[in-house]
Amino acid sequence: MAIGIKDFYAGKDVECSRVSAFSTAYPKHTHEEYIISANIKGVEKVWVDKKNYLVPAGHVTVYNPMAIQSSEFFDVGAEFISLHVNPDSIRRIIRENNIASRDSYPALIQGAFRNDALFKAIQGCYLAAVSPTDHKEESLNLYRKLDLSTLASSVGLSKYHFVRTFRQEVGMAPLQYHMQLRLIEARRMIRAGAKPIDAMVDLGFYDQSHFIKTFRKVMAITPDLYSRTLSKMLS
């Protein structure tokens, strides 16, 4: 079982990574950015919007910000290029080019599909990165253990009913979703210059190994390597 990043490049509006994986899985998780990926080798099984997709080589996957998603990889393995695109940059482009009258993030069609032009564009973004010469969520407290009883009572539900309803609507349990928000905040803090150990302590992770393991499950990279790579790419 293995998953790892072969290359990772970061800019102001886009992070680009090349990931390989086999006999493993990404558990249900979410990201604050648009995720657009090109599968360049093998097969990935994807879950999003309560639907399952098989993604062969040559296909792309698209996820909107905060979409709940998961992936599974088989013995033959898979390799893909993934772009994490800042939603604010998309909104800025839309506004500056008068593409839409609303000042909001567009909802892209999610899932997996064949689109040769998009596939080549993702590859082009990766090749350009390889050759450079050519908020916190207000409704949930990220810094303390989540109290489900208090949260459920605030919306007039029992804890059991709240957890069941939340899972049906969102796609994962409240505690799992809360963890995703903490990981998003950890990435924000590290991108802003915080040391991974400080982000870990501030966000209430009980020990370093737990923080590293949880961060790596979603990002396929350790917090320390993420921090060092960002420093190198943005210096």
| Cα 194 from Cα 185, distance rounded (Å) | 11
- What value does the mean pLDDT take over residues 212-228? 91
| pLDDT mean across residues, the chain | 86
Is the model's pLDDT at 73 over the cut of 50? yes
0.75 surpassed by pTM: no
The residue count for the chain: 235
Lowest mean pLDDT among 67-76, 84-93, 136-145, 214-223: 136-145
* pLDDT tens string 108-130: 999 999 998 899 899 888 887 77
Task: Specify the pLDDT at position 131.
Answer: 65
Kindly give, in sequence order, each residue whose CB lies less than 8 Å from that of residue 40, ignoring residues fewer than 6 positions away. 57, 79, 80, 81, 123
Rounded to a whole number, what is the distance in angstroms from the first to the last CA of the chain? 34
- What value does the mean pLDDT take over residues 131-145? 52
C-alpha dist (Å) from residue 135 to 117, 141, 181, 220: 34, 12, 10, 23
* pLDDT tens string 142-187: 766 778 888 888 778 888 898 999 888 888 898 888 899 899 999 9
